């Protein structure tokens, strides 16, 4: 009985913490310098014009995704302070294992994990709308490639740690985004059959 209460306390804590992290992530994007938003807006308009041979939903998806990913690059690379040294961590899931081993609430690690997942959910949702012939495997490879580019740039430019953990968590975000896409697609098909 006691373990159920502990589980419930942990679940409630994680739910509240996840809400705070999600809100914090979007506030972080909002706090980016305005010049990047102006550039992202120009990208959005440019892509609407460039992709005019695509179907409307593909153009809109591309016009949202590409500026969004630009803002992700700004958040993860440009807006970060330069470190004195660059480092790489290729230990998979070290953050999660650190939380489990310590048995303590390491909120900064939970935030890192959650932010890296949330950051790539739009990628997994919008890419299949743009490239309708792609399967989950292809979209996952694209997401992993994009994540690797971010991590390598962080290493080269000394703007954060280059971590395999981040790539794994970004990949989970891509998968969750794809699940959202497929769920919405099935709901639309079901509604059309009625």
Show the tokens assigned to 77. 């690379």
Show the tokens assigned to 141. 């490879």
Q: Domain locations in the chain?
A: 2-193
> What are the angstrom distances between the C-alpha of 5 and each of 17, 24, 57, 103, 182?
18, 28, 47, 16, 35
Q: Find tokens 């994540």 and name the residue.
A: 147
Q: Find tokens 């650190």 and name the residue.
A: 98
Per-residue pLDDT of the chain (194 residues), as tens digits, is 445 555 444 444 455 655 666 666 555 666 677 788 788 888 888 878 887 888 988 888 988 898 899 989 998 888 888 888 878 889 888 888 887 787 666 777 888 888 899 999 999 999 999 999 999 999 999 999 999 999 999 999 998 889 999 999 999 999 999 999 999 999 988 888 87
- The Cα–Cα gap between 69 and 75 comes to 10
């Amino acid at each position: 009985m006691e373990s159920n209460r502990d589980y419930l306390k942990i679940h409630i804590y994680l739910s509240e913490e996840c809400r705070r992290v999600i809100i914090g992530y979007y506030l972080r994007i909002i706090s980016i310098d305005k010049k990047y938003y102006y550039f992202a807006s120009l990208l959005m308009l440019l892509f609407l014009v460039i992709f005019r041979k695509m179907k409307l939903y593909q153009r809109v998806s591309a016009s949202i995704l590409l500026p969004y990913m630009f803002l992700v690059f700004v958040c993860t690379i440009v807006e970060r302070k330069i470190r004195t040294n660059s480092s790489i961590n290729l230990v998979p899931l070290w953050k999660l294992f650190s939380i489990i081993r310590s048995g303590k609430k390491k909120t900064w690690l939970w935030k890192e994990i959650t932010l890296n997942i949330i950051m790539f959910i739009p990628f997994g949702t919008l890419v299949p709308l743009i490239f309708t012939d792609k399967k989950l495997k292809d979209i996952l490879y694209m997401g992993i490639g994009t994540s690797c580019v971010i991590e390598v740039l962080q290493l080269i430019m000394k703007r954060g740690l280059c971590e395999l953990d981040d790539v794994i968590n970004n990949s989970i975000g891509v998968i969750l985004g794809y699940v959202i896409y497929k769920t919405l697609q099935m709901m639309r098909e079901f509604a059309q059959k009625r």
